[in-house]
Amino acid sequence: MITIDRASNVPVHEQLVEQLRYLIASGQFKIDETLPSTRALARQTGVSFHTVRKAYQQLEQEGLLEARIGSGFRVKERAPLGKSERIERGASIVQEALQKLIGLGLQEAEVEYLFQEQLEMLTGERPGHKLIFAGRSREMAALCAEQIAMGLQQAIEPVALGDLEMHQDADFVLTRFAEVQHVMEVLPRTDVLGVVVFLAPEALEQVARLLPHQTLGVVTRYSDAIPPLTSELRAQTGFKGQAIATSLEAGTGPLRPIIEQADLLIYTPPCRRRLLPLLAPNRKHVVVAPVITRDSLERLRQVVPG
Please tell me the least confidently modeled range out of 36-50, 79-93, 249-263, 288-302.
79-93
C-alpha to C-alpha distance for 132 and 166, rounded to whole angstroms:
12
* CATH class of this structure's domain 131-198+296-303: alpha beta
In whole numbers, what is the pLDDT of the chain averaged over residues? 87
Q: What is the pLDDT of residue 122?
A: 60
- Fold match, 131-198+296-303 / 201-288: yes
Dihedral angle, C-alpha 300, 302, 304, 305, nearest 10 °: 150
Q: Where are the domains of the chain?
A: 12-75, 83-123, 131-198+296-303, 201-288
CA distance 251 to 266: 17
Return d(Cα 84, Cα 93) in angstroms, integer. Answer: 14
What Å distances lie between residue 131 and 62, 151, 163, 165, CA to CA? 42, 13, 15, 14
The pLDDT assigned to 126 comes to 46
| CA 62/CA 59 separation, integer angstroms | 5
Q: Is-contact 254 275, C-beta < 8 A?
A: no
Q: How confident is the model at residue 133 (pLDDT cuts 50, 70, 90)?
A: very high
Q: What CATH topology corresponds to 201-288?
A: Rossmann fold (3.40.50)
Closest CA to 262 of 235, 277, 283: 283
Measured in whole angstroms, the distance separating CA 266 from the mean position of its chain's CA atoms is 26
249 or 123, greater pLDDT: 249
Region of residue 242 (left: phi > 0; alpha: psi -120 to 50; beta: else): beta
Per-residue pLDDT reduced to its tens digit, 45-61: 888 989 999 999 999 98
Question: What fold characterizes domain 12-75?
Answer: Arc Repressor Mutant, subunit A (1.10.10)
* Predicted confidence (pLDDT) at residue 209 exceeds the cutoff of 90: yes
